[in-house]
Amino acid sequence: MYALYRAVAMVKASREKVVNILSDSRSSLELLSNPRTGHPLAHAIRKVQETLTLKEKKSADADYDYEKIPLSWINKIREETILKWQTRYDSSQTGAITKTFFPDAKKAYATIRKLKPTPVQTQIFTGHTGIAEYLHRFKLLQSPSCECDADKIESVWHIILNAPGMKLHATISNTKSRQS
């Protein structure tokens, strides 16, 4: 959410006429789309967005007829955006688990749109789960070891491929009880 807040603040400070802000943070986007949310950053983002929208309306010389924009232009913009996304995706040092599931950004986008993943699937795809490896990384657990074998690190791959009798959904849902 803070990254979106910073992006909106940068837009406000810039002189750019057209800006696209892309985000893969489903929780942040859901907060922003809910008009009843009391989250202070969501409120601040909406306030800046309203200010920018008012300025845009005041400075607009003519109404745009978006139906007159050639579809080829829209497709070109989409392709350029996806190419930029793939370049950033490839060069990023983060997202190793996600890149294993989805090595190509364009195909990932298409797959996710069709799949409409559940929150648990999203946690698995990103590695942002309530499993020991992730919790240990943020010092919420003393050890990244798995309950099935103290010599094994409880990672997404360990649970999917090796952990006997462990149910992934139960492991992820069990986050709060393990953080003590």
Its domain, for residue 7, covers 2-59
Indicate if the pLDDT at residue 63 is higher than 70.
no
Q: Which residues pair with 153 in a beta bridge?
A: 145
Class of residue 125 by CB neighbours under 10 A (exposed 0-12, middle 13-18, buried 19+): buried
Q: Looking at the domain assignment, is residue 49 inside a domain?
A: yes
Q: What is the mean pLDDT of the chain?
A: 79
44 located within any domain: yes
Residue 6 and residue 55 in one domain: yes
| Cβ–Cβ under 8 Å, residues 20 and 81 | yes
In a domain, 16, yes or no: yes
């005041």: which residue's tokens? Answer: 58
pTM equals: 0.51
pLDDT of residue 61: 47
Q: How many domains does the chain have?
A: 3
The kind and range of the H/E element at 77 are helix 71-91
Query: 124 in a domain, yes or no?
Result: no
Average pLDDT over residues 61-74: 70
Residue 53 counted as domain residue = yes
Residues 80, 54 share a domain: no
Do 30 and 11 belong to one domain?
yes
Q: Domain check: are 86 and 103 in the same one?
A: yes
Q: Do 81 and 100 sit in the same domain of this protein?
A: yes
Task: Say if residue 71 is in the same domain as residue 99.
Answer: yes
Asked whether the predicted pLDDT for residue 176 surpasses 50, the reply is no
Decide if pLDDT at 1 tops 60: yes
In tens, the pLDDT along 79-115 reads 898 889 899 989 998 889 999 999 998 898 889 889 9
Answer yes or no: is 170 within a domain.
yes
Model pLDDT for residues 116-158, shown as the tens digit of each residue: 898 888 888 998 888 899 999 999 999 999 988 899 999 988 8
Given 79, 97, 119, the domain boundary residue is 119
Burial 82-104 (b: 16+ CB within 10 A, else e): eeebbeebeeeeeeebbeeebee
**Tokens 């809910």 — which residue?**
34
pLDDT band at residue 163 using 50, 70 and 90 as cut-offs: low
In a domain, 165, yes or no: yes
